[in-house]
Amino acid sequence: MLRGTRQTDFAYQAVYRYMINLINEVSTDTRVKLPSLRQLSGRLNVSISTIQYAYSLLEKEGRVYSVAKSGYYAWPLAGSPAPCSGGDLLERLYIAARRPGMVVLSGDEPTLLASLDATLLRLERELVRQYPRELQPWSQPCGVWELRAALAARYTTSPIRCWHADDVYIGADLRSVLDILVETLRLRGATVIVESPCDWLILRLLQDAGVRIIELPWATDGRLDLALLEGLLRDEPVQLVLLSSSVSLPSGGVLQPRDRLEVAQLLDQYGCWLLENDTCGELSFKSTQSALRDLVNPERLIVFSSFEKILGPEAPYGYLLSRCMSSELQRQFLFRGFRLSSIRQRAIARLYHSGRIDQHLRNLRHLLREQAGAVSQRLDEHLGQQVTYRMPAGGATFWLGATQAVDMRQVFQSMLAQQIVVVPGELFSLSGLHHQQLRISHTFQGHPNLDMALVALSDALRQAQVG
């Protein structure tokens, strides 16, 4: 047991305090690598998911940052050096966004506007009384039945488009679920079509797995080139296509009903699997927007998502739905040996059963839509003719394009020098697309600072013009 834990605390709170003390002991002026999830789990005798909760909170507060395939690092509160101009762009972005005192316009965190943290913790306290620790089984490698059943019911739309609890698999986070999909679908060396721009977590994970990625770009008019998609399906050995369920972020593209039907028909014609990204599917401003999964062959469909975009870092779990390959998926989840909090999963399930999730989402979508409108006015005021953009159809970000050729890395570095973080568009591509784009958040809190940040962005764009 973790020594010194108060009886009223959850384990992750004690881990959080332990980590704060550990970070405060840092006296060097360089980055410091923190213990891994597994090391801390063994040292403190708590589950890996508990350690992950604590690290998520520390990331939110800017005390730590994660680097893919390397681990977690901490900057001391004082004397933190400015990020250098060399090295991996994504690593520099992570470092900058987690440093105290930075104005972070790079985020994609819808729950900054509305959170269910207090409700989730209250439900956990109630459940702890109903399910004492000795009655909480850890031998549920695919997730607790209550939450799997709740997700299956939520994704069911008809007797044909139906899901069952056994079709749902819950992992520690989105990355671990995607790792399992790479193994289960045997994607190493396979050809996959991916919409572009695409989340860099997905792109880099597929790249590291040796997947051959063909990017299918969203056009400036917010449509996919379906003729190009058909040509790729006809001429390339494509194993699956990765597309968003409704709103594609950060581009904000939405497939029109006719296009959505044509995509489904093409996938069926060429016998191709759909890997549907539903991480932002609940954040469409038009709640009636239907999902692509409702049109494709359910026997060649896998859906993946997470709770983080709608519940926040207190619920980092990733999950997937698949009717096929059940024995292999069960084997992969069992092999990973996830030790996820059954109490927290049951609490999330209760949010679904009680209707609190739907109530929360209605409020969150309303706030996101209002905030997008307010930030749009500021973009027009401060950036004027320097950028173009489409009003987002959902989510928490804007996708901006420079109207004049600019060196966007120079823009990024210039903004960092002023303690402002934006995201260059090139991070959302592996083939050199989106060099004239950038993503900014519209959930940024603190409008006076936002005005100052946009003025600085205007100056940076002007100074970075090329040609």
**pLDDT tens string 128-183:** 888 766 555 556 889 999 999 999 999 999 888 899 999 999 998 898 999 999 99
- Average pLDDT over every residue of 349-357: 95
Instruction: Give the model's pLDDT for residue 2.
Output: 42
For tokens 């909760």, what's the residue? Answer: 53
Kindly tell me if the per-residue pLDDT of 442 is higher than 80.
yes
Helix (H, G, I), strand (E, B) or coil at 80: coil
Average pLDDT on 201-220 reads 93
Report whether pLDDT(411) > 60. yes
* Structure confidence at residue 438 (pLDDT): 96
The confidence score (pLDDT) of residue 355 equals 94
DSSP 179: H
Nearest to 365, CA basis, from 399, 400, 393: 393
Give 204-273 as a DSSP string: HHHHHTT-EEEEEEBPTTS-B-HHHHHHHHHHS-EEEEEEESSEETTTTEE--HHHHHHHHHHHHHTT-E
pTM: 0.83
pLDDT confidence of residue 180: 94
**342 backbone dihedrals φ, ψ, rounded to 5°:** -70, -30
Confidence label for 4 from pLDDT (cuts 50, 70 and 90): very low
Answer whether residue 334 shows pLDDT above 60. yes
Q: Where do the domains of the chain lie?
A: 11-81, 119-354, 358-463
Place of tokens 């989510």: 395
d(CA 167, CA 148): 8
Q: Which fold has domain 358-463?
A: Aspartate Aminotransferase, domain 1 (3.90.1150)
Are the CB atoms for 290 and 263 separated by under 8 Å? Answer: no
DSSP 264-293: HHHHHHTT-EEEEE-TTGGGBSSTTPPPGG
pLDDT of residue 90: 84
Q: Which residue has the higher pLDDT, 252 or 240?
A: 240
Q: Using an 8 Å Cβ cutoff, are 304 and 414 in contact?
A: no
pLDDT category at 302 given cuts 50, 70, 90 is very high
pLDDT reported for residue 61: 65
Q: Range with the lowest mean pLDDT among 249-258, 299-308, 360-369?
A: 249-258
Share of the chain above pLDDT 90, in %: 57
pLDDT in tens, 38-85: 888 888 888 777 787 788 777 766 677 777 667 888 765 444 444 445
Band the pLDDT of 25: cuts 50, 70, 90: low
Taking the alpha carbons at both ends of the chain, their separation in whole angstroms is 63
Name the nearest CA neighbour of 347 among 110, 122, 56, 139.
122
Taking residues 383-407, what's their average pLDDT?
Answer: 95
- Nearest of 124, 151, 197, 175 to residue 310 by alpha carbon: 151
Beta bridge partners of 194: 215, 242
61-65, 161-165, 256-260, 341-345: lowest mean pLDDT where? 61-65
The whole-number pLDDT of residue 35 equals 87
* 8 A C-beta contact, residue 110 and residue 322: no
Window from 203-217, 303-317, 421-435 with minimum mean pLDDT: 303-317
Residues 6+ apart with CB under 8 A from 125: none
The listed range with the strongest mean pLDDT (133-147, 219-233, 329-343) is 219-233
Summarised one tens digit per residue, pLDDT across range 79-131 is 444 444 556 888 888 878 777 778 889 889 898 888 888 888 889 888 888 87
Domain 119-354 has CATH 2.40.50.140: no
The pLDDT assigned to 28 comes to 53
Does residue 289 register a pLDDT over 90?
Answer: no
Give Cα 225 to chain centroid, integer Å.
Answer: 25
**What is the CA 54 to chain-centroid distance, rounded?**
18
Question: Is pLDDT of 7 > 60?
Answer: no
What's the mean per-residue pLDDT of the chain? 86
CATH number of 11-81: 1.10.10.10
> What integer pLDDT is reported at residue 5 of this predicted model?
40
Kindly tell me the sign of the dihedral angle through the C-alpha atoms of 370, 372, 377, 381.
positive
Characterize the bridge pairing of strands 191-196 and 437-441: unpaired
Best CA proximity match to 247, nearest among 203, 214, 292: 292
Which among 366, 320, 317 has a CA at the least distance from the CA of 344? 317
Q: What pLDDT shows up at residue 318?
A: 94
**Which has the higher per-residue pLDDT, 73 or 457?**
457
- The alpha helices in 289-325, defined as continuous H runs, are 308-311
